[in-house]
Amino acid sequence: MKHRERDEVKIVPYKKAWLEQFEIAKHGLSAALGDISICIDHIGSTSIPRMPAKDRIDIQIGVTEISSAICNTINQQIGNLNLPNAYMSEDHLPPNETHQADWQKIYLPGKTEKWSFKANIHIRKVGAKNFKYALLFRDYLRIDNSAAKAYATFKQTLASQIPDDRDLYSQLKDPVCDLIMISAKRWADTTK
């Protein structure tokens, strides 16, 4: 796995501009990827109204499979966006998960002079566990204000304590996200 340049972890107040930035990125990515992308969704904290977040848009692109061949095709097709190359990666394994294939992804650093903002672009197989996790996490925090406020407070506190260690920030945040997902899954089960 390639290591990318790490900015300081800084949580900023919610910005309405994040929705516009997502639409700009979505339009460019959709045009570049064509039929490879089944769907493009705004995920993560910037997709949750009133949620403080890192000033970086999280985007999930749904594809039919995760493979080196798809990764290479993506890199060929995004050339006109001047993005860095995508690469094979994986999400953290939540508790009781053992099947690594359900958590594989292609990561595309969203830093280009064509955009006035940065993005984290996660390319995941539609229907895979990590694909569903990102959408359910977002949807749950959009409807549960108490959980969203608690998560925001946690992120702000964590970022203030370790602003220079993005990897540790992510490692400590992942179990909190997994705890939120317990309630999110219960909510999803009762709303079906």
Predicted confidence at residue 3, as pLDDT, reads 44
Question: Count of domains in the chain?
Answer: 1
In a domain, 58, yes or no: yes
Is there a domain that residue 187 lies in? yes
pTM across the whole model: 0.93
Asked if residue 6 is part of any domain, the answer here is: no
109 within domain boundaries: yes
Query: For residues 9 and 180, what is the distance between their CA atoms, to the nearest angstrom?
Result: 21
Do 13 and 55 meet the contact criterion of CB atoms below 8 Å apart?
no
Predicted confidence band of residue 66 (pLDDT cuts 50, 70, 90): very high
Residue 3 lies in a domain: no
Q: Which domain holds residue 129?
A: 11-191
For residue 71, the domain's CATH number is: 3.30.460.10
CB atoms within 10 A of CB 29: 24
Using CA atoms, how far residue 19 sits from 45, 51, 145, in Å, is 11, 12, 19
Give per-residue pLDDT as tens, 113-145. Answer: 899 999 999 999 999 999 999 999 999 999 999
Task: Specify the 3-state DSSP secondary structure of 50.
Answer: coil
pLDDT at 101: 86
The count of C-alpha atoms lying within 13 angstroms of the C-alpha of 75, restricted to the half-sphere facing its C-beta, is 13
- Distance CA(182)–CA(17), nearest Å, equals 31
| pLDDT tens sequence across 35-46 | 999 999 999 999
Is residue 2 assigned to a domain? no
Going by pLDDT thresholds of 50, 70 and 90, the confidence category of residue 2 is: very low
pLDDT higher than threshold 50 for residue 77:
yes
Judge whether 152 lies within some domain. yes
In a domain, 127, yes or no: yes
